[in-house]
Amino acid sequence: MNITHLTTPQIEHLYLRKNAFSMVFIGLFFLTQLIYDLVSTAQPSTDLKIGFGLASVFSLIGLLVNWFTVSKLARKVRKAYWYGNFDDEYFNFLNHKAYKYGFNSTGLAAFIFYFGSELVPESLLTMDNSFRVLLSIIFLSYGAPLLFWLRGNDE
Q: Which whole number is the average pLDDT over 129-141?
A: 92
pLDDT at 26: 93
**In this structure, are residues 136 and 31 in contact, taking their beta carbons and an 8 Å threshold?**
yes
pLDDT digits (tens, 9 = 90+) for 45-92: 777 778 888 888 898 898 888 888 888 787 778 777 677 788 888 888
Cα-flanking dihedrals φ and ψ of residue 119, to 5°?
Answer: -85, -20
C-alpha to C-alpha distance for 151 and 32, rounded to whole angstroms: 25
pLDDT grade for 153, boundaries at 50, 70 and 90:
low
Considering only residues 23 and 36, tell me which one the structure prediction assigns the higher pLDDT: 23
> CB neighbours of 7 closer than 8 A, spacing ≥ 6?
none
Tens digits of residue pLDDT in 92-128: 899 999 999 999 999 998 898 888 778 777 777 788 8
Cα angle, residue 12 at apex, residues 6 and 13 outer, rounded to 5°: 90
pLDDT of residue 155: 44
Pick from 142, 25, 31, 47: nearest CA to 95: 142
* Start-to-end C-alpha separation, the chain: 20
> What is the predicted pLDDT for the residue at 29?
92
pLDDT for 81 equals: 67
Domain segments of the chain as ranges: 8-146
pTM of the model: 0.85
